[in-house]
Amino acid sequence: MADEATVVLVMGVSGSGKTTVGRLLAERLGWAYAEADEFHSPENIAKMREGVPLTDADRAPWLRAIAEWIADRTSPGVVSCSALKRSYRDMMRGVRLVYLDGDRELIATRIKARTGHFFRPEMLDSQFADLQPPAPDEHALYIPVSDSPERIVDEIVDRLGLVPDQR
């Protein structure tokens, strides 16, 4: 059962399904939802549109803003965020961590098929280069991305014992 301030952080590389799964999970539970891309500065988005990977310095204000959203929660919520490095996730402690795990080929296919997103397919290599999968002490729920988003949400709800908001 979720307490008042439970936050589920859905993480993974770009194209792993974070936004789709995060939104579906929040809808299913009746919880607030935040998409990490909406916390990026216009400068960061412009860099990514140009195919320039972000540096840790570029990401720092973005990560602080997401961590603040998490810390300010007084009711349950879901946030989707790449959270590629352990140091990034360390800023967002106290969350229920869900890692959407997929192989590069599947994720590259998904990225090439989507339209209207600023993330350029050629930046996927930098995401996998930066990726530090969650360590055992982070107690992450590893979920393969090969299933449908609905089945992934079913598994998250079941394995984390999450209960829809009854308010």
- Given a contact cutoff of 8 angstroms between Cβ atoms, the answer to whether 32 and 26 are in contact is yes
pTM: 0.86
What is the rounded CA–CA span in Å between residue 138 and residue 161?
Answer: 18
Q: DSSP E strands: which ranges in 31-94? A: 32-35, 77-80
Structural Rg of the chain based on CA atoms? 15
> Residue ranges per domain, the chain?
7-160
Going by pLDDT thresholds of 50, 70 and 90, the confidence category of residue 2 is: very low
Residue 129: per-residue pLDDT? 87
Amino acid in position 40: H
State pLDDT tens for residues 73-115.
999 999 999 999 999 999 998 899 999 999 878 787 777 666 6
State pLDDT tens for residues 120-140.
556 677 888 889 999 999 999
Give, in words, the CATH class of 7-160: alpha beta
What is the rounded CA–CA span in Å between residue 11 and residue 24?
Answer: 14
- If phi > 0 it is left, if psi is from -120 to 50 it is alpha, else beta; for residue 51 that is left
State pLDDT tens for residues 29-65.
999 999 998 999 999 988 887 878 788 999 999 999 9
Residue 1: per-residue pLDDT? 35
